[in-house]
Amino acid sequence: MTDEQPSDRVASVFSIPTRVYWEDTDAGGVVYHAQYVAFLERARTEWVRALGYGQDGLRLDHGLVFAVRDMRIDFRRPARLDDALQVTVSLRRCRHASIVFAQTILRDGELLVDAQVRCASLEASTFRPRAIPEALYTQLNRLVEPGALDE
């Protein structure tokens, strides 16, 4: 048995691979802009799962959901049909009732999209703001990106 927590095994920058499929593109074979939001969401979901908290577990066991409150996206270059992409997540800030992520979408190391996503911590039954449970809050704060600015 080890005292290691799931967050101890999660890198400060988490990354998942994804591929661009026909359904992700417009008629020209370029990724439709809204699909990037889905790629970013999947990466955040997998990041939370890697911490040991699946979205459904957070909702059922802790009465907690995270909802996107604000999103800034910079579309730098297009992704195209069949591209292999890496979608990254790092935690920029963690407060008692909100978290801010920095995310990127890369193709062969080339930056295609960067985003900042702020999520609110909500009571699952009422969708009212609530504090992140202390154990999760402590775990998240250990993962805040070094040098992240408090904006």
- What residues are labeled active site? 26
State how far the Cα of 88 lies from the Cα of 16, in Å rounded to an integer: 7
Taken in order 115, 121, 126, 130, the sign of the CA dihedral is negative
Give whole-number Cα distances, 42 to 17, 24, 91, in Å. Answer: 10, 14, 15
Structure tokens at 149: 């600015």
DSSP 120-149: EEEETTT--B-PPPHHHHHHHHTTBPTT--
* Residue matched to tokens 């290691």: 4
Phi, psi of 48 (to 5 degrees): -65, -40
